[in-house]
Amino acid sequence: MKARKQPLEQGTYADLISSCANVKQWQPALGLLHELETSPEVEAGPSASLYNKVISSFVREAAWQRALWLLHEMPGRQVQLDVVTYGAVASVCNRARQSLYTLQLHEEMVKKDIHPDIPSFKVAVTACRRMMKLLLQASPQKSGRQKLL
C-alpha cells in the first residue's frame, strides 16, 4: 500500500480486506492483512474472520499452496483456527483438484476436535468422489464390470 498521512483503523482494514475478498483479489487482500499485522497504530491484530476472508479470496485462482501456508501460519500469529478456516482452505484445495489435501484437512480438523459443518462434509465428499474416479480410471477394466461413477 502507498504511504498515508493518517493510519487506517482496524475496521477500515476489515472493510478493505472484505471488499478484496468479495471480488477474489487475493494479492491486495493478503497485502492489507500483512499491513494490518505489522501496523504499530493498530492495537489488536487481525481476527480469524479476516484470515478466512483472505483465504476465501484464493478460490478464484485455486491458490491452494497459499491457502495452506496461511492456515499453518495462523497459530503462530495467535489466531484461533475454526471450522470456517478449515472449510475455506479445503474449498480452495478442492477447487484446485487437490483432493488428498482436502481430505487431510478434514482429518486434521476432526483430530483437533473442531466439528465439521455441512459445507465441510460436502467438500470432503466431493474430494472422495474425485479420488474414486481417478482410482477407477487407473485400474484395469475387467470385461463385464460396470463403471460405478
pLDDT, one tens digit per residue, over 43-62 is 777 888 889 989 988 887 88
Residue 132 is placed in which grid cell? 474414486
Q: Tell the residue number behind the cell numbers 483503523, with chain if given.
A: 9
Q: What is the pLDDT of residue 146?
A: 57
Tell whether 146 is covered by a domain: no
Tell whether 147 is covered by a domain: no
Q: What is the pLDDT of residue 114?
A: 96
**Rounded to whole angstroms, how far apart are CA atoms 95 and 49?**
21
Q: What is the pLDDT of residue 149?
A: 54
CB-count exposure of residue 128 (10 Å: 0-12, 13-18, 19+)? middle
Tell whether 89 is covered by a domain: yes
Tell whether 112 is covered by a domain: yes
State the pTM of this model. 0.81
**What is the domain extent for residue 122?**
10-138
Tell whether 62 is covered by a domain: yes
Q: Tell the residue number behind the cell numbers 477447487, with chain if given.
A: 95
**Rounded to whole angstroms, how far apart are CA atoms 144 and 136?**
14
Tell whether 55 is covered by a domain: yes
Helices (H) and strands (E) in the chain, counts: 7, 0
Tell whether 143 is covered by a domain: no
Q: What is the pLDDT of residue 126?
A: 96
Those residues of the chain that have pLDDT short of 50 are none
Q: What is the pLDDT of residue 71?
A: 96
Q: What is the pLDDT of residue 46?
A: 80
- The amino acid sitting at 79 is V
Q: What is the pLDDT of residue 14?
A: 84
Number of domains in the chain: 1
Cα–Cα distances (Å) from 122 to 23, 35, 79, in that order, read: 24, 34, 25
Q: What is the pLDDT of residue 35?
A: 87
Angle at 102 between CA 100 and CA 105, to 5 degrees: 110
Tell whether 145 is covered by a domain: no
Q: What is the pLDDT of residue 2?
A: 55
**Measured torsion, CA atoms of residues 85, 86, 88, 89, in degrees rounded to the nearest 10:** 120
Residues in the chain: 149
pLDDT, one tens digit per residue, over 58-84 is 887 889 999 999 999 999 988 999 999
Question: Which domain CATH number covers 71?
Answer: 1.25.40.10
Q: What is the pLDDT of residue 118?
A: 96
